Chain A
């Protein structure tokens, strides 16, 4: 259980920052030059929930679609398509999020659609790249032996290749989710509420406290999720086949 202290304490800090931000801020405010605090229509826990839901939904879509494509390219043995995906994945990461969002709004309008699509675009590439690389790192003899035993292509993927590529896949999901937690803050610019709302409002009103109210929890959330994935990765390496 000792291993889980770091993730547990980060999650704890995240909840403290969400539920007791105002209480703690009030204590410090006594010693600081006072400034009007932006009045929020939505409470911090609600914003947190919306932010998390946005990340969860977009990550799930990314995971399902990325794994689907990776598995299909594996079964079809389409080397060229894999190469294309890998170069796309590297290229895609270099485009700024705001630019993507600005391009999407004219087509998809304001609200959930453009931000979900942008999050999906950013989230799908790291998973896809890592999954393909993970499959490629499997010694060809192992996959061939699996086929030679009489496994169907799906059985080879499910029983042998996915378990062996799992550490790489999980690493890809980790990158994707962490990226989405931060990118989701941009949602505020197209009208989707989350921690980003506080950050954007804070900047507009030159109100540091409101800005921190959004920024601190989102950082803690990213750190907590990252540390959970770090532990998951170790679990994957120790994975034994259980039937």
Chain B
């Protein structure tokens, strides 16, 4: 568990972080969300001691971060950042194996680990000897994620790791990362200013402003948050179509009706692993209120979904 206890960070007279307290449980994917300059990157860097608190302390599993040697601490925490973080003079292989080398793993272990990681993040083996300058944006970010995961750290810090990618690649990498995360169950702290990215990935979202924690909760809780004094700021920041974005977290599979299924135009059918946003989008584009759902890998119809099921999707959930 990671715990921020009343942390304040001042740069000269400017407070980047003010009286910040937060607990992050093991295996949680926490998103720090906020406009630029809200202190989210500062909060992230406090965890691996790249930034030292002016007041307060950060604890990992009950031990104060300040009490450990920063190098030892950082070797146990994965760190992935936007584009430029790869070492331009290191090959992909050497970039990935930095931390294992610092930890003095054997050569065979490192080689095995690099192969494993490249498979995990979907990089072909023949990329090993390329330099970062020869990679596309998406490939570079995959290397960045592989490098962060290299020594199998319990904690993963990610500072807008997909920020520089085009929308298509970004969504692809987000989905792949989610798959990896479901499998590895790391404690992930992920910084972004992109609401859609936050909704797609988060177990829990923390919204920040001017160095302060405004609200913390699951994406669903944020939608219905009525008690907070900062309601206006929250709804303004999340945007008026936030509830539509939330639909992307729900899978069609959970909402299909299998009884009395009629057959509609096969072109309107959505696949079983689509999310509700995609289903709704299909209905809007075809001007219908019911569509078929088919198997992922064939056109066999397994049920149907109605617009009312989508609209009331969150009504039934106890938030």
Give chain A's interface residues, CB within 8 Å of chain B: 139, 141-142, 144-152, 155, 160, 163-164, 239-241, 243
Contacts and interface: CB of A to CB of B under 8 A. Distances in A.
A141 B72 contact: no
Nearest to B48: A148
Contact of A163 (B79, B84, B89, B99): B89
Contacts of B102: 149-151, 155
A152 B102 CA distance: 10
B89 A240 contact: yes
Contact of B79 (A139, A142, A149): A149
A83 B90 CA distance: 30
28 contacts: A139-B84, A141-B81, A142-B84, A142-B85, A142-B86, A145-B87, A146-B87, A147-B74, A148-B74, A148-B77, A148-B79, A149-B75, A149-B98, A149-B99, A150-B70, A150-B73, A150-B75, A150-B76, A151-B98, A151-B102, A155-B102, A160-B89, A240-B89, A240-B131, A241-B87, A241-B89, A241-B90, A241-B91
A150 B94 contact: no
B87 A142 contact: yes
A142 B75 contact: no
Interface string B82-104: 11111111110010001100100
A159 to B, nearest CB: 8
Interface of B: 48, 50, 70-77, 79, 81-91, 94, 98-99, 102, 131, 147, 157
B159 to A, nearest CB: 9
Given A164-B87, A241-B90, 9 more contacts: A141-B82, A142-B86, A145-B81, A145-B85, A148-B74, A149-B74, A152-B71, A239-B89, A240-B91
B75 A164 contact: no
Contacts of A241: 87, 89-91, 94
Contact of B99 (A142, A150, A160, A243): A150
Contacts of A151: 71, 98, 102
